[in-house]
Structure formats: structure tokens, C-alpha cells
Amino acid sequence: MASHHDHLMSPRTAAGRDGLAAIVARPDRAVIALDFDGTLAPIVPDPDQARAHPDAVAALAALAPRVASIAVITGRPAGVAVRHGGFAGVPGLEHLVVLGHYGAERWDAVTGTVHAPAPHPGVAAVRSELPGVLADLHLWHDTYVEEKGRAVAVHTRRASDPQGAFETLRRPLSDLAARHGLVVEPGRMVLELRPPGVDKGVALTEYVREIGAESVLYAGDDLGDLPAFAAVEKLRSDGVPGLLVAADTVITELAERADLVLDGPAAVVGLLRDLAR
């Protein structure tokens, strides 16, 4: 496993070094894709209070004109990531794309609009049954339910026993999701009930193809970023060099698969600045 003292620009794998070399050689052909929470925004107890690192937007804006495209790929609704990130109306970020809900939604800075499919009917059913399920488990007061529009997320970070509550909820929430055609997306002290059919790997692969990129960087910190890591590994085997960045070491599997392991959003900002230079 990598240490989080890796130099910001020194990938520890040959594939990562190839990826970085390709990005640096032809930045105008590179897609830079980043997760939001935990990668651009420090993790905080209340999801509504999460904001991009204070230097993140400036670092993105400095890098954007030098690369083919920057995309934020997040489990958040696209509009929420845009608001919490402060991404709208920023000089330099005129072409930013935010792929929300793991790629189900898309916001383009150039139009300022969100495109999204019709909501899955299972979400309304889950929304109405969820309070009863949480009450039966005596977890109604210990959890926070995040209303995400086309999904519902149950957070345990502020519970008296966050990991215990998370484990207790796993099976019942999986059953509830399955009854209504949804899936559970586990994350850092959160279990999200959401429609199936798209993940960050699908979103990233399609976006790299759309741009016609010749290299890609993906940075993430959570379980929902693993499909994007797999997508970069597949792109590499198809001849598109790529660099995998773990924003921190909390999710062991992600850190183990990364070419670079950083020490949180401040270090991600440092990497973006180094790339812009």
C-alpha cells in the first residue's frame, strides 16, 4: 500500500507514470475527472455543510484552459455539487461538466442547465417506507436522511456508533431497495438507495470517448469511485494512458489500486496546481 507521503507528482506504478507522462506531454488531449466529497471538498459531519476546499475552484480554473476537459463526477445531484462547489460563473471554468448521481445527471457550465432522465418510481416508495424501517431498528433519531431527489441517502456519521449503525442498516436497506427496483450504494458512513444502471465507471468511459481524450486522470476517495478506477484500468488496457489518484487512505481498496495516494482535498488542490504548472 502506498504511503500518503507520496510526492504529489510521483506515481508509484509504471502505469501511473505512463499516465502522468501522457497528460503532461499533451495536456490538451487529457480529461481530468474528480470526485466531489472527500476529494475536492473536505468531509464534514453535515452533508449540507460540505463545500469545496477554499483553493479548489481557483486551482481548477487555472488548469481547465490547459486540458481538453475537466469533469466532476459525483454521487451528489449535479445542481447540489455545482452550488456546494461554487462552480457556476467562474472565469476559466466555462466548459466545466458535472456528472451528478453517478452519471445519471449532467450539468454543463456552458449552458448552466442540468439534464436528467425521468425519476425512478421506486424512489418515492422507498422514501415513504424508510421512516418505518429506521424506527423499527431504533435508528430513526440516530441517522440523517439526505433527500437527493432521484435517490435517498441514510447517513450514520453522526450516530453514537457510526460503524455499528451502518452495519445494522446494510441488510434492511438492501432489502428495501430491492423491493422497489433500487440498489444500495455504500459510501463513507452512508448507504444510498438509488436507481441501478449507471455508475461512475460508465460515466467516465462515456465522457472520455465523447471528448476523444488520449489520456485521463481520475481522483476519488470512496467506494463509489471504484468503478471509475476500473474504467481507467480498462482504458489503459485499451491503450489510453491514465493516472489513478486516491485522495486519502480511508478506503483501503481504493488506496491500494491508486498510482498516487494523497492526504486529502488540500493535497488534491496541490496536485491540480502542479499540473497547471
Positions in the binding site for ligand L263DTV3 (CB under 6 A):
35-38, 43-45, 47, 50, 74-76, 146, 148, 153, 155, 157, 187-190, 192, 222, 224
Closest CA to 205 of 31, 53, 21, 59: 31
Q: Which residues of 43-81 are buried (b: 16+ CB within 10 A; e: fewer)?
A: beeebeebebbeebbbbbbebbeebbbbbbbbbbbbbbb
* CA 123 remoteness from chain centre: 21
Closer Cβ to ligand L263DTV3, 25 or 44, answer by number: 44
Q: Is the Cα torsion angle 6, 226, 146, 156 positive or negative in sign? A: negative
Closer Cβ to ligand L263DTV3, 11 or 100, answer by number: 100
- For the CB of residue 220, give the shortest distance to ligand L263DTV3 in the complex, in Å: 7
- For the CB of residue 107, give the shortest distance to ligand L263DTV3 in the complex, in Å: 13
Q: Is 38 left (phi over 0), alpha (psi -120 to 50) or beta?
A: left
Closer Cβ to ligand L263DTV3, 11 or 77, answer by number: 77
- For the CB of residue 259, give the shortest distance to ligand L263DTV3 in the complex, in Å: 19
Read off φ and ψ for residue 183, nearest 5 degrees.
-125, 160
Closer Cβ to ligand L263DTV3, 50 or 63, answer by number: 50
C-alpha distances out from residue 265 to 21, 86, 138, 219, 234, Å: 23, 15, 35, 10, 26
Closer Cβ to ligand L263DTV3, 11 or 38, answer by number: 38
Closer Cβ to ligand L263DTV3, 22 or 39, answer by number: 39
Give the CA angle between residues 108, 111, 113 to the nearest 5°. Answer: 70
- For the CB of residue 76, give the shortest distance to ligand L263DTV3 in the complex, in Å: 5
- For the CB of residue 135, give the shortest distance to ligand L263DTV3 in the complex, in Å: 22
- For the CB of residue 194, give the shortest distance to ligand L263DTV3 in the complex, in Å: 9
